[in-house]
Amino acid sequence: MWRADVITFCITISRKTNYKKVGNHYGKKGLCKRFDGKLISVEKVNDPMFAQKMMGDGVAFISESGEVVSPCDGTVSTVFKTNHAIGLISDDGVQVLIHIGLDTVKENRKRFKSHVKDGAKIKRGQKLITFDIKYLESRGYDMAIPMIILNMDTVSDMEYAAEGIVTTESGALSYKLR
């Protein structure tokens, strides 16, 4: 069934790698980039699983704050036991994975703290996970934070936001629900 609802995920994604500014549009909802830092193309992430969009499409961020907050209203589907990643389901049914750093799973919860549990109802802007970014960088981890839409069959017409410095309310991704 086709739905004409348009969602803005404060991440802007496009299969064409067509970066542009994404603003607030009447009737749009979505995911926002929810931490201060830099927005980069998911294709620039140094992990083929993300860069080649094997799990889905999205964008990535480089955090300056060591904090990840919810990009949408929805539900926590899973907090990985190592607290380095979290799965969300937006109120519109879009499945989102936020993965903090590359290979940071090796730290096994060390320097990561989850502020939510599986099944928790969440609001946009709610703190999800904090992490010690200085420690992780000192250990040599690539701190790119991919934010990926997993159920790509439910969205269309995705566009990316422009790469560069962003704030917690910057638009990052827009799309339509099918």
pLDDT at 166: 62
Q: Give residue 24's pLDDT.
A: 42
Look up the pTM and report it. Answer: 0.82
pLDDT for position 124: 87
pLDDT digit string, tens, across residues 86-110: 999 999 999 999 999 999 999 999 9
The per-residue pLDDT for 30 is: 55
- pLDDT bucket at 176, cuts 50 / 70 / 90: confident
Q: Which residues, in sequence order, are bridge partners of residue 6?
A: 28, 176
H/E stretch holding 137: helix 133-138
Q: In the annotation, is 25 catalytic? A: no
Contact predicate 10/171, CB 8 Å: yes
Q: Which tens digits make up the pLDDT trace of 22-56?
A: 444 433 445 665 556 788 999 999 999 999 999 99
Say which of 25, 84, 99, 115 is annotated catalytic. 99
Query: What is the pLDDT at residue 167?
Result: 57
Pairing of strands 112-114, 127-131: antiparallel
Per DSSP, the three-state class of 37 is: strand
**Number of neighbours of residue 94 by Cβ within 10 angstroms:** 24
Is residue 99 classed as helix, strand or coil in its secondary structure?
strand
What is the pLDDT, as a whole number, of residue 39? 86
The secondary structure of residue 94, as a DSSP letter, is -
